[in-house]
Chain A
Amino acid sequence: MNINFTLISQALAFSIFIWFTVRYVWPPLLRAIEERQKTIADGLAAGERGKHDLELASQRSAEVLKETKQRGAEIIAQAEKRASEIIDNAKVAAKEEGDRILTGAKAEIEHEMFSARETLRQHAADLAVAGATKILRREVDARTHADLLADIEKDLK
């Protein structure tokens, strides 16, 4: 156990080892560890942000859904209203059209009836005149009694 030059050599070796560690061993590892810590911190922050974003998005989607539902209900109500309007209009139009057709038909019937009656009356007048003519052939001169015949004819009509 004697102190000698070994002490100085060992101290020299020691300082070289310290220098080596300070220069080459410590910094890269420290850098790696710090970078990883930063990455982890960033990742955690990103996760937190993502969670927050998700919350916001789900909130927004719920709002949009609600709005859409409301709008849908409005549209359906409008459509129903419009449909009933159309039906009402159609009913009115149909009724009008029916009335019009009915009126036309009635007018036609009346016209037909009138013309038939007219024809019938003509026929009856003709028949009466023919009968009367036959009866009165000899006594009645057609030319002299023309105004009389016209009168009768007029009456019959």
Chain B
Amino acid sequence: MADLPEMLAELQSVADSPKKMLAKYLAQGKKVVGCFPIYTPAELVHAAGMIPMGVWGGQVNPSVAGQYAPIFICSIMRSCLEFGMLGKYKGLSAVIMPILCDSFRGMSGAWRVGVKDIPLIALIQPQNREVDGAREFLAAEYGVVKEKLEEIAGHKISGDAIENSIAIYNSHNATLREFARAANRHLDVITPKIRHAVMKSAHFMEKAEHAAKVKDIVLKLAELPEHKWTGRKVVLTGITAEPGDLLDILAENKIAVVGDDLAQESRQFRTDIPAGQDPLDRLAGQWLSRSACSVVHEKTSARPDLVIKLAKENRADGVIICLMSFCDVEEYEYPLLAKTTAQAGLPSVCIDIDQSTENSGQARTKLQTFVEML
């Protein structure tokens, strides 16, 4: 087993350079399918023997995406389109896109026009999850995705293969949750940036491979004495907490991340695929179980309670609301989050997350002020 810094550096490298992972898997003769945020049935790609790879954009000031994507759409979608149009995703056999918001509605058309060499597999999850028929609908929708993936893979995807992938994904979820708990005992080693890298790297590696690496990290952490953190502790909520500079600012101000409700991070790992008889029905059941997420309709928003619970359980001093630029589903939830966390005695600060700029100057000022409040 490698030493801990080496293990962490490897996942940092994966998180920083997904392109290298794409090249690696392609060199191994594997097909790779891009998976757009936030929730796709990546298990089906995995079951087909292909590699599901997250498509989360990156820091870029778009130069060509503006042809199809107005400036006032979600920052991630614009970056993804930019990279797609510039050929950065070359090698992907297809992309799966869940139509979770208006930016995705538009992106489904923009992708087909702007990135003609990477076929789009679109799908939509049911939002009226209480109605009898929602689960059946989604299983059928996943069935269509499965057929399209079979065409790309060149073979059928068996029920057993999907069951096997489901087991790997559930196990990976448990491992990442275990890592999050272990990280809080070693906040000196697991800085905000490293915590982020371990979680983000999951999008770009085969899940069993990633789980094995994270398990080793957890074992190595257990060998270290528990660290008593004397700085401030926060919980992050939003879509992503990037770029890395932002997380460096936290570290510089002695702020540790002790929990997250980020779409790119813990929202990926907190809901397991339930038991059941039919694998597609089981995958549909996972969507029906999802909660406290801005792209999921619920009668009563569970998100503020979840964020408060996370903060209290992990003794956080405050909450950082990472508001993705032009992400309307998150923007609608901002007032409730700000109000509810304040009522619970948790100070919060709202940071704009924008992939189109590297400039974190405003975030730095806000966070410096915030830490003084805590």
Q: Do A and B come from one complex?
A: no
Interface residues of B (CB under 8 A from A): none
